[in-house]
Amino acid sequence: MNKIILSSIIAISLLLFSACSYKYTEAPLATNFKKSNQKKIQSASHWKVISKDLAKSVVEKVGLNQSVYISKTKNNMKFEKSMHKLFISALVNQGMKVSINKTSKDILINIDIETIKFTKNRAMLARNGGVLTLLTAGVWSLNGIYEASGGSAAAAAGGTITAVGVDAYNWYNSEYASGPTPQHEIIITVSAEKGNQYITNYNNIYYIADEDKKLYSNTSTTLKIKGN
């Protein structure tokens, strides 16, 4: 090989290597969190599921031998109003003593709901691909078709539809919400107070469908009255 060409290749390689191995930067490099799943609320029945989950966490921390009072919402958010009712029902159904009057309670419980809006078009990488093999009638697992395809992802993907059928394929993918990453999320926090102390403070975060954002916002209006 020409010495000039060889020297050029070595020089370029060293330059590329050095560019990738800087020890110092003026700002931290942006990295992603490890992959995680976050539920997306898409129906009122999901609200009921959330209320049961919140009630379970309160019962586990507070116990059933004390009465609680659930603070009433001051907002006009449809989701918050519904959650107040569903949460009381969930607590009662789990055996909790829920006071009607604030003065007769042992513990005060507050529900705080915060809606967060992020930028549009947040990237969400496709989930790991997979194919299904039959375990029992109507139940499929991931390995067989992929192995039968010789490890070819393209062959495996094609084999999924052919061998399993659309219903089983949809069953496997039904865990994940369709469409782009939602722009709106909500943070639900439930706290239990006794005296001047928090007994428990539990929160969770959910995606909400962007088309349903009005259900999670304060829709109260202020009327302005003009005098003479």
Q: Give 61-102 pLDDT, tens digit per residue.
A: 999 999 999 998 878 889 999 999 999 999 999 999 999 988
Q: Please tell me the least confidently modeled range out of 10-14, 51-55, 108-112, 130-134.
A: 130-134
Mean pLDDT for the chain? 77
Say if residue 104's pLDDT is above 50: yes
The model's confidence at residue 172, banded by pLDDT at 50, 70 and 90, is low
Correct CATH for 40-122+180-216 of 3.40.50, 3.40.720, 3.30.450, 2.40.10: 3.40.50
Question: CA-CA distance, 49 to 65, in Å (whole number)?
Answer: 24
Listed in order, the ranges of the chain carrying CATH 3.40.50 are: 40-122+180-216
Question: For position 190, what pLDDT does the model report?
Answer: 93
Say if residue 208's pLDDT is above 50: yes
Reading the block at residue 41, the tokens are: 């609320």
pTM score, whole prediction: 0.68
Say if residue 139's pLDDT is above 60: no
Query: What is the biggest distance separating any 2 CA atoms in the chain, rounded to whole angstroms?
Result: 96
Question: CA-CA distance, 1 to 109, in Å (whole number)?
Answer: 79
Q: Give 3-36 pLDDT, tens digit per residue.
A: 666 566 666 666 555 555 567 889 998 898 888 8
